[in-house]
Structure 1
Amino acid sequence: MRLDGKSLAEMASRQRAALVNSLSGFKSANLIGTTAASSQDNLSIVSSVVHLGSHPPLLALVVRPGGDERHTLANILATQQYSINHVTHDIVEAAHQTAARYPQHISEFEATGLTPEWWPGFNAPLVSEASVKLAMQLREHQELAINGTHLVIGEVIGLEVPDQSINHDFSLDLIATGTTALSGLDSYHSVQLEKKMAYAKPDVPPRTVL
């Protein structure tokens, strides 16, 4: 099947959303933990977290437009802190349920049975059941003129990962952490390592190291 821009624009909205959300391939599945100025906890699943840089350690996420019901964005802007937590195989159902549009006074932690975890000096809840937990400090926020989505850039100011998930080169073994991958809006995947490649150099052919 080949589609042009006109064909995409004329598709039914739900079909177009399902297709376009799948075009970027496998994505990370993360739970964003925030708290309102009133101390109300919030938890929402996102698939848009991307690496921006390592020094300082920066991650970006995209929040869709939507006004007052976007509690995650409002909380981040109000408190300047939030958490990023990997979705693992054993919490997929609860994590997915956080996408439901609960009223602001309802905590998704309570609604889904997940447990908020608090670190000293950090003002956002992390997910106790997650194997990878990141404490984030807001560094930049931009509303994108092209479609009204919000780009949120944060710095990793703390993290917790299982000891056995750190490889010899200090990369994170995402199989050991049980991290899932997400495609489209609602499909969760287990992952396996195909191969690990050596650092690419122009005068050396591709080499497999694992």
Structure 2
Amino acid sequence: MHITSQDIQDMDKRRRAAFINSLSGYKPANLIGTADAAGNTNLAIMSSVVHLGSHPPLLALVIRPGGEERHTLANILATGHYSINHVSAHMVEAAHQTAARYHRDVSEFDATGLTPKWRDGFPAPLVAEAEISMGMALREHQHLAINETHLVIGEINFVEIPEHCLREDGAIDLASADTVVLAGLDTYFDTSAIKRMAYAKPDLPPRVIPD
């Protein structure tokens, strides 16, 4: 099947969204926790977190256009802080429900039964049910003219992770943390490792790291 750009443009809006959102493959499933200046909480599932660099430790987040409807963006810009929380298998139903368009006065924590977790001095809630959580500080915000989306770049202030999920070399064992991935807009998958490869060098063949 060959699908042209015109075919994509001619698709029904919902069909086009489902198609394009699936093309990038498996994506991270994260809950973004925020609070407004008065401390009212918000929680939203997003699949657009991208690694930007390790020194300083930066992650990017793409937030769709929507103006006043985007409570997450408004809270991040107001307080300069937010949390990124991995979705685990036991949280999928509640996490997915945070995508519903609740009124600003309704906290998705209350609506879904998830629990806000606070750290002293950090103005955004983490998700207590998440195995892996990060406290983020806003470093840059760009409004992208090409499609009115927002690029939010944050620096990792702290990480909360079970000790057993951290390998000796510093890598995180995501499978042991029960982290799930998301395809398209609505399909969640658990993960298992196929193999782990050594650092690629031009003078050496591919090498598998033994368990």
**Could you state the TM-score of these two structures normalised by the residue count of structure 2?**
0.99
- RMSD over aligned CA atoms reads 0.5
Which residue of structure 2 aligns with residue 139 of structure 1? 139
**Ranges of 4+ aligned residues in structure 1 off by more than 3 Å:** none
Which residue of structure 2 aligns with residue 126 of structure 1? 126
Whole-Å separation in 2 of the counterparts to 1:131 and 1:28: 14
Q: Map of 1:1-210 to 2, 5 A cutoff?
A: 1-210=1-210
Q: Following TM superposition, by how much is the alpha carbon of 1:3 offset from its aligned partner in structure 2, in angstroms? A: 0.6
Whole-Å separation in 2 of the counterparts to 1:39 and 1:174: 31
Deviations 1:149-208 (A, max 9, x none): 000000000110000001121100000100000000000001110000000000101011
Q: Following TM superposition, by how much is the alpha carbon of 1:36 offset from its aligned partner in structure 2, in angstroms? A: 0.8
Deviations 1:64-114 (A, max 9, x none): 000101000000000000000000000000000000000000000000000
Q: Following TM superposition, by how much is the alpha carbon of 1:37 offset from its aligned partner in structure 2, in angstroms? A: 1.4
In structure 2, the residue corresponding to 1:42 is in which secondary structure? strand
Whole-Å separation in 2 of the counterparts to 1:24 and 1:189: 15
Q: Following TM superposition, by how much is the alpha carbon of 1:2 offset from its aligned partner in structure 2, in angstroms? A: 1.1
Structure 1 gaps of 5+ residues are none
Q: How many residues align?
A: 210
Whole-Å separation in 2 of the counterparts to 1:84 and 1:65: 20
In structure 1, the residue corresponding to 2:137 is in which secondary structure? strand
Whole-Å separation in 2 of the counterparts to 1:130 and 1:147: 32
Q: Amino acid of the residue matched to residue 152 of structure 2?
A: V
Deviations 1:32-90 (A, max 9, x none): 00001122100000000010000000000000000101000000000000000000000
Whole-Å separation in 2 of the counterparts to 1:2 and 1:142: 35
Structure 2 gaps of 5+ residues are none
Whole-Å separation in 2 of the counterparts to 1:158 and 1:204: 36
Whole-Å separation in 1 of the counterparts to 2:175 and 2:39: 35
Deviations 1:125-150 (A, max 9, x none): 00000000100000000000100000
Task: State, as a whole percentage, how many aligned pairs show the same letter.
Answer: 60
Whole-Å separation in 2 of the counterparts to 1:137 and 1:131: 20
